[in-house]
């Protein structure tokens, strides 16, 4: 769907300031039909990359390549892209209905098509009751939802979302994530940036990881997890008296009278044999799978 | 493209209209009527001229005020609130966006002028004055002046922050009105280099005085066609030139 090829962007705020390299030779690819998470801490270069993709700012070096299925010229490509900026403010005096008709009209939809799509999506976003109210009366969550509705009102093939879940409460996040997943399942390519790792782990099949303007990882979420898998186990036993002979980390939970040991995979059999021989009550054996969040923080701290 | 341009104009107009900015116009209109009524007590024989003078003055102040203050925030507000991204991420060229925004604001200006000019003409007529063509031309040229100022401030807002763009535009407006009389003072006439500087200023910055027909409307009641044509062409071409520059720069600007 998109190739971001060796892009460099340098900002210079004024004549006396030092140039700031926002993106340093960054390359990645967004395959058609994928759900790609764009991960990085604040200031990593995510929004700058998205602005370059949307042609709001121009790269100093590198090239951008959209696949031919989106179209041959900018006008055709933009017709098939849905974009939601980070923390958009919208036009406060327009009603929700007017706002959707405005943006739908700009995407070359007929009035009847816009009305149909509003009827289809507004109940799903739970804003159908508020469409005749001015946007300045909307809560932050409602603004985010109408923003997302406006992003998909023209049924785009490629959806780009900049921090779409920021500022939402847990229920709002869950609802919006469910819609993003549904839209992706209907065959759309979704590319969304976030600094919240768990959101990306939950719904994306690929992840692009930027750190201070440099590319750190571009690939499948699962393969990243597998690469950083430590193959450790947690063993839980009843009581406090048991001490295994193998190398371990020990945690004791006083309330449940349970002791927990963290061990390596190769020591698992030895420890289990010791537990059985000493007639210690085994409560559980659990494989420790590192989360994307842990990997993210590990990579950042290196 | 025309449909998109009109759509952007329409919703820009709606957004500003709903912000109740035109309440100020109505307030000015009521103030105009009250002031005209009060002034008739102190003027002997020329209350219609006083009404026309007050009316055209307020019309000019309000339309230039709208141009200055709404024009200075027209683009910066769009960029700061990221609403510009919602529009130009659609199949909308930047020039369509910018012309649409400016036309939407011009529509607000024209409504302001329409309301106040009707009130002015009504006051003048009720006090014994007559509606002549020069007054209508004065109103039309007031629109042209406000549009030119709007384009100056939008142009400056591409480089400067809102406050600076407003202040510099106001200075350009004041200088643009004062330059002709300044050139005619003996102080300048005696100093050739000063006259050269002012001539150079004339070539670059707009001479707003050319578009001010208030004195013709109130005192002279007649105006030469050649003056009208020249001033109209000057205002129109200067505005088109500024619009071209705005589009040229906005097309290349990093919207950050």
Cα distances (Å, whole numbers) of residue A9 to A5, A37, A60, B97: 12, 21, 5, 26
Confidence (pLDDT) at B212: 86
Q: What is the pLDDT of residues B149-173, one digit of tens each?
A: 999 999 999 989 999 999 999 999 9
Hey, is the C-beta of B19 within 8 angstroms of any chain A C-beta? yes
Q: What is the mean pLDDT of residues B207-216?
A: 85
**Across the interface, do B92 and A76 touch by the CB < 8 Å criterion?**
no
Task: Tell me the shortest Cα–Cα distance from A45 to chain B, in angstroms.
Answer: 13
Largest CA distance in chain A: 77
Taking contacts as CB-CB distances below 8 angstroms, the residues of chain B near A83 are 85-86, 89
- The ipTM, to two decimals, is 0.84
Q: What is the mean pLDDT of residues A78-90?
A: 86
Cα distances (Å, whole numbers) of residue A24 to A10, B42, B256: 8, 74, 18
- Residue-wise burial string across A9-39, b where 16 or more C-beta atoms lie within 10 A, e elsewhere: beeeeeeeeeeebbbbebebebeeebbbbbb
Q: What is the pLDDT of residues A222-246, one digit of tens each?
A: 777 777 767 788 888 888 778 888 8
Confidence (pLDDT) at B166: 94
Measured between CA atoms, the residue of chain B closest to residue A79 is B91
Residue A99 has pLDDT above 80, yes or no: yes
Residue B8 has pLDDT above 80, yes or no: yes
Q: pLDDT grade, residue B234 (50/70/90)?
A: very high
Q: How far apart are CA B83 and CA A90, in angstroms?
A: 5
Q: Single out the residue of B6, B211, B10, B31 nearest to residue B115, CA to CA.
A: B31
Q: The sheet that has A61-66: what strands, in order across it?
A: A20-30, A2-11, A61-66
Cα distances (Å, whole numbers) of residue B203 to A27, B179, B243: 50, 12, 18
Phi, psi of A28, deg, nearest 5: -160, 170
β-strands A20-30, A158-162: how paired?
unpaired
Hey, is the C-beta of B15 within 8 angstroms of any chain A C-beta? yes
Q: How far apart are CA A138 and CA B83, in angstroms?
A: 16
Distance of CA B4 to the CA centre of its chain: 25
Whether A2-227 and A232-301 share one fold: the answer is: no
* H, E, C per residue of chain A: CEEEEEEEEEECCCCCCCCEEEEEEEEEEECCCCEEEEECCCCCCHHHHHHHHCCCCCCCEEEEEECHHHCCCHHHHHHCEEEECCCCCCCCCCEHHHHHHHHHHHCCCCHHHHHHHHHHHHHHHCCHHHCCCEHHHCCHHHHHHHHHHHHHCCCCCEEEEECCCCCCCHHHHHHHHHHHHHHHHCCCEEEEEECCHHHHHHHCCEEEEEECCEEEEEEEHHHHHHHCCCCEEEEEEECCCCCCCCCCEEEEECCCCEEEEEEEHHHHHHHHHHHHHCCCCEEEEEEECCCHHHHHHHHHHC
Nearest to B15 among A75, A89, A93 (CB): A93
Q: What is the mean pLDDT of residues A129-138?
A: 91
Hey, is the C-beta of B2 within 8 angstroms of any chain A C-beta? no
- Say if residues B33 and B119 touch (Cβ distance below 8 Å): yes
Confidence (pLDDT) at A253: 66
**Who contacts B174 (Cβ-Cβ below 8 Å, separation ≥6)?**
none
Q: What is the pLDDT of residues A200-225, one digit of tens each?
A: 878 888 889 888 888 888 888 777 77
Q: How far apart are CA A107 and CA A297, in angstroms?
A: 40
Q: What's the structural domain count of chain B?
A: 1
Tokens representing residue A143 in the block: 């603004």
Nearest to B85 among A56, A74, A79 (CB): A56
Q: What residue spans define the domains of chain A?
A: 2-227, 232-301
Residue B148 has pLDDT above 90, yes or no: yes
Taking contacts as CB-CB distances below 8 angstroms, the residues of chain A near B8 are 106
What number of CA atoms fall less than 13 Å from residue A83's CA on the CB side? 26
B218 vs A20, which has greater pLDDT? A20
Cα distances (Å, whole numbers) of residue A210 to A26, A89, A91, A184, A299: 9, 26, 32, 23, 11
Measured between CA atoms, the residue of chain A closest to residue B11 is A102
Confidence (pLDDT) at A236: 86
Q: pLDDT grade, residue B5 (50/70/90)?
A: very high
The torsion angle over the Cα atoms of residues A207, A212, A213 and A219, rounded to 10 degrees, is: -20
Hey, is the C-beta of B202 within 8 angstroms of any chain A C-beta? no
- Residue-wise burial string across B8-42, b where 16 or more C-beta atoms lie within 10 A, e elsewhere: bbbbbbbbbebeeebeebeebbeebbebbeebbee
Give me the percent of chain B exceeding a pLDDT of 90: 41
Q: Is A213 left (phi over 0), alpha (psi -120 to 50) or beta?
A: left
Q: The sheet that has A249-253: what strands, in order across it?
A: A249-253, A258-264, A232-238, A282-288
- The residue segments making up the domain with residue B187 are 2-252
User: How many CB atoms neighbour CB A272 within 10 A?
Assistant: 16
Residue A254 has pLDDT above 70, yes or no: no
**Is 3.40.50.300 the CATH number for A2-227?**
yes
Q: Which residue has the tokens 């549904």?
A: A182
Helix B162-183 and helix B133-157, axial crossing angle in degrees, nearest 10: 130
Nearest to B83 among A79, A88, A154 (CB): A88
Q: How far apart are CA A155 and CA A117, in angstroms?
A: 9
Q: What is the mean pLDDT of residues A37-62?
A: 89
Confidence (pLDDT) at A302: 61
Measured between CA atoms, the residue of chain A closest to residue B250 is A56
Q: How far apart are CA A92 and CA A135, in angstroms?
A: 5
CATH number of A232-301: 3.30.70
**Across the interface, do B255 and A56 touch by the CB < 8 Å criterion?**
yes
Per-range mean pLDDT, top range of B50-54, B68-72, B221-225: B68-72
Confidence (pLDDT) at A252: 67
Helix B192-204 and helix B162-183, axial crossing angle in degrees, nearest 10: 130
């Amino acid at each position: 769907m998109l190739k971001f090829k060796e892009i460099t962007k340098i900002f210079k705020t004024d004549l006396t300031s030092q140039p700031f390299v926002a993106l340093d030779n960054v390359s990645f690819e967004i395959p058609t039909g994928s759900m790609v998470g764009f991960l990085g801490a604040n200031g990593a270069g995510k929004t700058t990359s998205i602005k370059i993709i949307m042609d709001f700012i121009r790269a100093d070096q590198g090239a951008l390549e959209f696949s031919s299925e989106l179209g041959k010229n900018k006008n055709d490509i933009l017709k098939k892209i849905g974009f939601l900026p980070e923390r958009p403010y919208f036009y406060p005096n327009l009603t929700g209905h007017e706002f959707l008709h405005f943006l739908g009209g700009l995407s070359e939809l007929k009035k009847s098509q816009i009305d149909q799509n509003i009827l289809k999506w507004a109940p799903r976003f739970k804003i159908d009751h508020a469409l005749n109210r001015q946007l300045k009366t909307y809560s932050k969550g409602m603004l985010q939802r109408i923003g997302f509705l406006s992003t998909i009102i023209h049924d785009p093939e490629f959806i780009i979302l900049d921090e779409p879940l920021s500022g939402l409460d847990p229920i709002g996040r869950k609802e919006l994530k469910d819609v993003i997943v549904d839209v992706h399942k209907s065959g759309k390519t979704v590319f969304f940036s976030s600094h919240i790792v768990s959101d990306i782990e939950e719904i994306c099949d690929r992840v692009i990881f930027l750190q201070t303007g440099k590319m750190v990882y571009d690939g499948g979420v699962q393969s990243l997890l597998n690469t950083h898998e430590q193959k450790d186990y947690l063993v839980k036993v009843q009581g406090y008296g048991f001490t295994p002979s193998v190398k371990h980390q020990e945690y004791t939970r006083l309330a449940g009278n349970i002791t927990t040991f963290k061990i390596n995979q190769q020591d698992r059999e030895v420890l289990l044999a010791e537990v059985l021989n000493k007639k210690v009550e085994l409560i559980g054996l659990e494989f420790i799978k590192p989360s994307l969040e842990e990997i993210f923080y590990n990579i950042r701290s290196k | 493209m025309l449909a998109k341009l009109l759509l952007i104009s329409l919703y820009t107009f709606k957004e500003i209209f709903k912000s109740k900015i035109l309440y100020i116009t109505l307030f000015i209109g009521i103030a105009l009527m009250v002031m005209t009524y009060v002034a008739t007590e102190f003027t002997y024989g020329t209350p219609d001229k006083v009404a026309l003078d007050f009316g055209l003055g307020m019309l000019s102040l309000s339309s230039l005020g709208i141009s200055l203050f709404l024009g200075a925030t027209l683009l910066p507000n769009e960029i700061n609130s990221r609403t510009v991204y919602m529009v130009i991420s659609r199949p909308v060229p930047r020039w369509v966006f910018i012309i649409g925004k400016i036309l939407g604001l011009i529509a607000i200006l024209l409504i302001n002028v329409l309301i106040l000019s009707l009130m002015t003409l009504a006051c003048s007529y009720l006090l014994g004055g007559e509606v002549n063509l020069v007054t209508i031309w004065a109103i039309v040229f007031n629109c042209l002046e406000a549009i030119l100022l709007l384009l100056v401030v939008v142009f400056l807002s591409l480089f400067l922050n809102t406050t600076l763009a407003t202040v510099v535009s106001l200075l350009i407006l004041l200088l643009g009105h004062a330059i002709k009389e300044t050139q005619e003072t003996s102080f300048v006439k005696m100093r050739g280099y000063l006259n050269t500087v002012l001539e150079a200023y004339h070539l670059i910055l707009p001479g707003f005085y050319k578009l001010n027909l208030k004195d013709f409307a109130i005192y002279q009641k007649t105006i030469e066609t050649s003056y009208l044509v020249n001033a109209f062409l000057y205002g129109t071409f200067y505005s088109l030139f500024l619009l071209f520059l705005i589009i040229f720069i906005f097309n290349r600007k990093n919207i950050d």
